[in-house]
Structures are given as C-alpha cells and as structure tokens.
Structure 1
Amino acid sequence: MQPLYLDDWTEHFFRNLMVFEQCHHIHDSYIIDYIAFLGDLIKTPNDVEILVRYGVLKNLLGNTEDALNFFNTLGKHAKLPTSRYYYSDVCMKLDKFYNDGWNRSIAMLKQKYFAHPRAAAAIIYAVVILILSIVNSATGVISNINGC
C-alpha cells in the first residue's frame, strides 16, 4: 500500500476529486469511500501516530492534530452513497478481529506486560522459574513415592 502524503495541497486535491466523483461517478465512489474509511479509522491523535509509524500516512502538515483535523473536515460534507460502500468487507473483517476475545487478550498483554523489553524478560524469567519449580516438586513427589 502506498503511503498517503498529507501536505498543504492534499485537502484541495481530495476535495476536487470528491466533487468530480460526486458529479460524474455517482455509483463508483472510491475516493469518497477511502476518505470516509480513513475518517472512521482516525478518531484520535494516537490513531494518526500509529498510521504514520506503520507507513500508511506521511504527515507533512506539522503535527498530528492537523492531520486529525484534515480527516475530520474532509469527510464532513461528503455524501456517501448508501447502495455500495467499497470498504465494507474490510470494515467487517476489522470488526470481527477487534471483537475476538483472543485478539483483545493478546493486545492487552502486549500493551500492559510486554511494552518494555525488561518487563518481557522479567515475565519470561518468572515463567521459567515457575516451570522449574513445578518440575522440581514433581520429581520430589515421584522420588518419595518410589522410596516407600
């Protein structure tokens, strides 16, 4: 996926494309759907930072607030066709992934316990010690049973 460059001219460019699409391609609204999809995806400055970090956006506007305002104002007056939304499959897959309990648990573990390398190392160390303790206890019980 090519990154979307956000600069001073991007809003004018997309507004012109959206008007063209609304006038001449009413049933094929790829640009409006793309802007609406990104607008739904981007709700906080942290969302902008994540998309910049993973190379989806290149923010040349200055700060994340400007990029957030870009998507909030751009999609405000766009009229989405109700018949077909180009990114509906992607939205359903994202909702399914987000609502899956296993994925939520893994994400919580990553954010809470594996955010720093030291924390991850300490947890791995604790699990290894726990396993070794269980093995040591089990071998002690087995040796006591065999000794009787």
Structure 2
Amino acid sequence: MKLLSIPLLLLLTACNSSPELISKDRCGTEDWKSLGYKTALNKKSVKEFDSVKLICGQKVAANVQELFVDGYSDGLIKYCTYETGFNTGKQGLALGKFCPPELQKNMMLGYRRGKQLRDQNQLYIEEEKRISQGLTTQNGLGNQ
C-alpha cells in the first residue's frame, strides 16, 4: 500500500504545482514587461513574480519587478473588458474574480449581457425542438 501512495502523491503534487514562469537561464535576458503581460492574460496572480525572484535570485536587476508589474497592469487592462466578459458569458463559462474591482464592474456588465444572449438562444433552440417534435408526433411520424 505504501508503494502505491508515493506515486499517487507525486502525481497529485505535479498536478497542483503551476509551471514556472521562467527558467534560470533566462533570468538575465527575459522581457519582463512581456512576461508580466502574459501572466495577467493567463489569469495568474501578480504574486507569480515571487517565484521568479526565487528562481533568479541575484540575477534579477533592480527594475525588473517594476517592469513586470507594468506589463501585468497592461495585461489586466487588455483582459478585464466588457468584451471578454461578454464572450465568457456567451460561451456559458464561469467568470472568476481575477480582475480588480475597478475593471470587474464593466466586465460583469458584458458577462451578464453575453449570458443573457446565451440563455435566450438556448430557449429558442429548446422551443424549436419542442415544435419539431410536436409536428413529428402529430403527423404520425413519431413512435414508429
């Protein structure tokens, strides 16, 4: 039993850990603003930079965190929009609480509108299906 639990524990640990943002060999050459931007677009916390500091250690220049945060802020502005909310709602996906409150409000408006449109489309499809089934049954084509 003990032998089975070790591989399972390793598998669960691997599933729960997030991939590193950066490898140690890129610490001196990374485009930090771009990395921050991509981090935000991937809906990850700005605190992901803490792992960068652990990986890179002394190889991180003094202004790196500022560049990362600038890029991260740009990524939030790009992601946390009415359009993203609308598309998320229209697809029937859940909208997380990733965006800061000042951007979340507009995103939620889009989400509600997209979800409303999706719900209306679903009702239309269900009604068409009922009508189609009703006509099929009335014409004697159903239950053959």
**TM-score of Structure 1 vs Structure 2, range by shorter chain:** 0.3 to 0.5
Task: Name whichever structure is richer in strand by fraction.
Answer: 1
Query: TM-score with structure 2 length normalisation?
Result: 0.33
Q: Considering only CA atoms, is the larger Rg found in Structure 1 or Structure 2?
A: 1
Q: Which has the higher contact order (CA 8 A, sep 6+)?
A: 1
